[in-house]
Amino acid sequence: MRKLIVFAFIGFLAQLIDGSLGMAYGVTSTSLLLTFGIAPAVASASVHLAEVVTTAASGVSHLKFGNVDRQALFKLIIPGSIGAFAGACFLSQLPGEVIKPYISLFLLILGVFVLFRFLRTTKTSEKKSINLSRKKSVLLGLVAGFADATGGGGWGPITTPVLLSQKGVPARKVVGTVDTSEFAIAVSATLGFLIALGWQDVNWFWVISLMAGGIIAAPIAAWIVTKLPSHLLGVLVGGFIVLTNARTLIVTCGVDDWAMSIYLLILLGWAGSLIFVIRNNKKR
């Protein structure tokens, strides 16, 4: 019972971050399962099965609060689903650990770009929609969906910063759209895992625990997004992208001794950026 409560809380925290910033549920939950010795494919399958329920709750909440760009949503769903299904079916044959550092480096650079772009954003420079082209949505959906299934989390960390890198894009709509579209990705990945692994390998204890916490957090996170201004939300997302991907690069480069100093510098820079953007927009 104690374990159920602990992991339900972790599911709650993961969904609260994911629903507010458009990423981190899969990465957080999968990392937790892997520390308990669960095989990567089984861990990813358990997380995606839980996400079928939590992303549905999150999507309904974001739609209710008006955080979704429906046009961009429909453009992302089909290619994202195809990519997720393919990634789930071939997870055991993919060199995920070899590719992961390169993806992390790309996302870290993109995170820095997003952070600095929103430092210069004013309250009047925001567009009403995401304006995602069909060509870009197909490429983005396939890559992000594939990465999500193979890594246990990647739809938000890839899709959110790429969409936020566009000038004038509404951060609230990006977070809501990415979070809502993730339902289709979770369903597709789960189907792929069930075909490849079967029901018997799913860890139902983890699934139920993660579901319980995520369902509670989903409407809270969607409400938080409506209250945060885009410039502040963008800096929060950018800093979070840098922080999470720095960990992978630190491990890959073997500079663990410098890890605390690097994290401290990132946190100080992130805090300074938040203070700057809040003061800058108050003056306007």
What does the block give as tokens for 252? 């890959």
User: In the predicted model, is pLDDT for residue 150 greater than 70?
Assistant: no
Domain extent, residue 98, equals 1-282
Q: Are 29 and 47 in contact (CB under 8 A)?
A: yes
User: How confident is the model over 38-66, as a mean pLDDT?
Assistant: 79
User: How confident is the model over 3-9, as a mean pLDDT?
Assistant: 71
The DSSP result for the chain, as a single string, is: -HHHHHHHHHHHHHHHHHHHHS--HHHHHHHHHHHTT--HHHHHHHHHHHHHHHHHHHHHHHHHTT---HHHHHHHHHHHHHHHHHHHHTGGGS-HHHHHHHHHHHHHHHHHHHHHHHHS--TT---SS----HHHHHHHHHHHHHHHHHHS--HHHHHHHHHHTSTT--HHHHHHHHHHHHHHHHHHHHHHHHHHH-GGG--HHHHHHHHHHHHHHHHHHHHHHHHS-HHHHHHHHHHHHHHHHHHHHHHHHT-GGGHHHHHHHHHHHHHHHHHHHHHHHHH-
Q: Please provide the average confidence, as pLDDT, over all residues in the chain.
A: 77
Assign 1 a pLDDT band (cuts: 50, 70, 90). Answer: low
User: How confident is the model over 70-87, as a mean pLDDT?
Assistant: 88
Q: Are 153 and 146 in contact (CB under 8 A)?
A: no
Assign 265 a pLDDT band (cuts: 50, 70, 90). Answer: very high
% of residues, the chain, pLDDT over 70: 74
Please tell me which residue, 97 or 215, carries the higher pLDDT value.
Answer: 215
CA gap 206, 49 in Å, rounded: 10
SS3 113: helix
User: How confident is the model over 161-176, as a mean pLDDT?
Assistant: 80
User: In the predicted model, is pLDDT for residue 159 greater than 90?
Assistant: no
User: In the predicted model, is pLDDT for residue 94 greater than 60?
Assistant: no
Q: Which of 38-42, 59-63, 132-136, 269-273 is least confident? A: 38-42
DSSP 201: G
Q: Which of 39-53, 118-132, 211-225 is least confident? A: 118-132
User: In the predicted model, is pLDDT for residue 92 greater than 60?
Assistant: no
User: In the predicted model, is pLDDT for residue 4 greater than 90?
Assistant: no
Residue 128: predicted pLDDT: 66
Q: Are 166 and 10 in contact (CB under 8 A)?
A: no
Tally the domains of the chain: 1
Assign 267 a pLDDT band (cuts: 50, 70, 90). Answer: very high
Residue 110: predicted pLDDT: 67
SS3 264: helix
Residue 264: predicted pLDDT: 93
Cite the beta strand spans of the chain per DSSP E. Answer: none
pTM of the model: 0.70
Residue 268: predicted pLDDT: 93
Please tell me which residue, 92 or 246, carries the higher pLDDT value.
Answer: 246
User: How confident is the model over 111-132, as a mean pLDDT?
Assistant: 68
Residue 44: predicted pLDDT: 66
Q: Are 165 and 58 in contact (CB under 8 A)?
A: no
Residue 105: predicted pLDDT: 75
Which range, 186-190, 260-264, 274-278, is most confident? 260-264
Which amino acid would we find at residue 145?
A: G
CA gap 34, 163 in Å, rounded: 29
Which range, 104-113, 117-126, 146-155, 241-250, is most confident? 241-250
